[in-house]
Chains A and B, each alone.
Chain A
């Protein structure tokens, strides 16, 4: 069995930074990542993007530099196209799957750098062909240079919505409308959160995006509520309270949330983050979780963006070296200081953004009973409400009852929505309804792949 001081799941900014830092401290490091190349979601396929003008700016410059640093680091075993599918917390043995072959690896410490996922936006009609997450559209653009043809409606809010609008418009997408779902008064509420001066660089970047999008002819409708996608075979139009538009593509985006699939499956302690309306693992200032073996860095521990992710990756690596006896505590603190400063700067604008782009309650818990919440099993909000009335007290009970969360996505898409619907129905908080506890395999593997593991005598 291969052995490593530090196993890192994820080769985004957090995982890459952690690997570089840990290797420089003399740790043996393994990075497993599901993608074919490093970069994570934010810098996905950056090495292959060359000098694509649609993706110019931070993506190519900063992302490219991060990936080059990671590629050059010595002492890092990097395993692309590899999925982490099980962790035995008692022994530190992790199970990974690469090219159909499962392998067990001994790790002294595990760092989850699993990043963010798009917040599911369960509106009526969101399962129609032609409706997708803005993030999925961005992946198509980054990996295949694919641009939607015909009228495009981007509905939702958040910095990534503006970034994607700009990237798609640069790439020649059809006429595009942004339906902004932000609440009235959110801007004033956001201003009260402060952080604008410290975060001015990011703020300027954001304002630049808004200007560029408008220059490209993006039309914007504000204060949009009660969205629904309509069409028979595919999306043909989008309706909202007081308006409608024909479209061939509807891109939904209500921000990103930590990808806590693995951290929840491991039973790490999580809290409901009311500011970001999402679950996040309970972490100390080094990213150490409630379990001695495991740390979390990057957006998987709370949304902060790639600069914050890189800083938390460095901190988690320093902590790993300290815990493994390779770095005295005082030296760890000294080494951490610049990364803490970078982290603070990167997070300064966060409270402003969280307030400005807080999703409406119906994004978390759709009001319309016919809205599908679990796409895999086609379970509606109404069915979840009925299960709550019959006694399901949280998403785990709803799973046992309705199979919501038992499909191929393993609850990634529906876990939080189901919890929010149950919470609303039972008059409890989402925190009380609890997190969906996903089960291994964290990534599906086939029966044949599992069966091919070397046999052990079974008593």
Chain B
């Protein structure tokens, strides 16, 4: 049997989506996952399917991905827990409202109509339990949420069904380009070779890039999430705020998930994460201020998942600027889940035809070249609105 045509490093949603879309195109593809599938951000994210409040460069991708979400079962044979619950960004002050209105105007000017402003009454129709100080908001009714782990496994299963190989416990420790092939060695001593290499290694993406001879600045965060005990249904859409990082939703089980970007402590070496109790308390305060109904609800789980973060808070997607036969898709900064079903298709286009019809110039891996020696990732300077993680 002949070897793979594409090696995908990383068994998270993006790697598995790439494998799926490559296998659909009849390519022989092998996924190398260092640990277990969806072990990090792909399994631990809040699962927001959000086009609302996207960075301008991400909007076209997010909108196209949303169409995939609405027919996800057709695509991968599993509904992935997707629910089109809508997503709402709450304005907590007149200043917030002004920010949202400015955003809405800018989007209209750019020809987008998916984000819809609502006034205080409209907001209360969407969120009857929202705190009295909320003055309005912005909504995308076709947005929603899905189950991250289930989605990742569904893509993995669908990829396998189309002939993709998925190898767990295969940690890449060396990479070399030889005779037109990437030769990867894994910690278990195995060798894998293929002409094309997809770097979907998430928070570890920059480490892999370095193995391939390319420096890409990437920090990481351990985004924290909390899950409460069951409550009677009181909120349908996924909720965010305008001026502070929060992402809030009630699952069908009645449990409320609170996340949005507060950071715990993580280690890239071990993959382990620790909560930062003070910051978790900050998330709890924000959630409580938005939804006072939560005061007596018990938090039953809190956790943190490691996610790569770039200096400009948008991902790295595209062919390597330096290394031949390498396509990067990592560093999604805590908001890559919604893009997953589409980015795999973009990667597959790049791998099979050398180009894509989607606008990905803003995500070019070479865009950081001038600050290649820069330090850890800074906060998003260019995003119009702070994007909640998950």
Interface residues of A (CB under 8 A from B): 86, 88-90, 93, 95, 102, 104, 267, 377, 390-391, 393, 397, 400-401, 403, 406-408, 410, 439-441, 444-448, 450-456, 458
Contacts and interface: CB of A to CB of B under 8 A. Distances in A.
18 contacts: A390-B157, A391-B156, A400-B148, A406-B255, A410-B300, A439-B302, A439-B303, A440-B301, A445-B299, A446-B296, A447-B287, A447-B294, A447-B295, A447-B298, A453-B277, A453-B281, A455-B278, A455-B282
A93 B38 CA distance: 30
Contacts of A458: 262, 278-279, 282
A400 B301 contact: no
Contacts of B332: none
B357 interface: no
B209 to A, nearest CB: 27
- Interface centre among A391, A447, A452, by most chain B C-beta atoms within 10 angstroms, is A447
B229 interface: yes
A456 B301 contact: no
A391 B281 contact: no
Nearest to B291: A447
B149 A446 contact: no
Interface string B223-255: 000011100000000000000000000000101
The prevalent SS among residues of B at the interface is mixed
A451 B253 contact: no
A310 B208 CA distance: 51
B297 interface: yes
Given A406-B300, A440-B302, A447-B288, 15 more contacts: A86-B275, A88-B274, A104-B277, A377-B253, A391-B156, A393-B36, A401-B150, A401-B153, A408-B229, A439-B303, A444-B298, A448-B296, A450-B281, A455-B278, A455-B282
Nearest to A450: B284
A455 B281 contact: yes
B243 to A, nearest CB: 13
Nearest to B255: A406
Contacts of A406: 227, 255, 300-301
A242 to B, nearest CB: 40
A450 B227 CA distance: 13
A435 B274 CA distance: 18
Contacts of A104: 277
B285 interface: yes
B197 to A, nearest CB: 25
A398 to B, nearest CB: 10
Interface in B104-161: 148-150, 153, 156-157
B334 interface: no
B274 A451 contact: no
B272 interface: yes
A439 B304 CA distance: 9
B265 interface: yes
B308 interface: no
Contacts of A441: 299-302
A447 B299 contact: yes
Nearest to A456: B278
Interface in B264-281: 265, 272, 274-275, 277-281
B43 interface: yes
Contacts of B227: 406
Contacts of B302: 439-441
B149 A397 contact: yes
A425 to B, nearest CB: 16
Given A86-B277, A391-B153, A397-B149, A403 B301 contact: no
A90 B287 CA distance: 27
Nearest to B294: A447
Contacts of B258: 447
A132 to B, nearest CB: 21
Given A397-B149, A455-B285, A90 B277 contact: no
A397 B303 CA distance: 15
B37 interface: yes
A259 to B, nearest CB: 17
A265 to B, nearest CB: 10
A400 B298 CA distance: 20
B255, B258, B301, B302 pick with most chain A CB within 10 angstroms: B301
A255 B110 CA distance: 68
Interface string B69-100: 00000000000000000000000000000000
A95 B302 CA distance: 14
Contacts of A454: 278
B298 A446 contact: yes
Nearest to A266: B274
B38 to A, nearest CB: 7
Contacts of A451: 281, 284-285, 287-288, 295
A408 B149 contact: no
A391 to B, nearest CB: 5
Nearest to A88: B274
Contacts of B297: 446-447
Contacts of A450: 280-281, 284, 299
Contacts of A447: 228, 258, 284, 287-288, 294-299
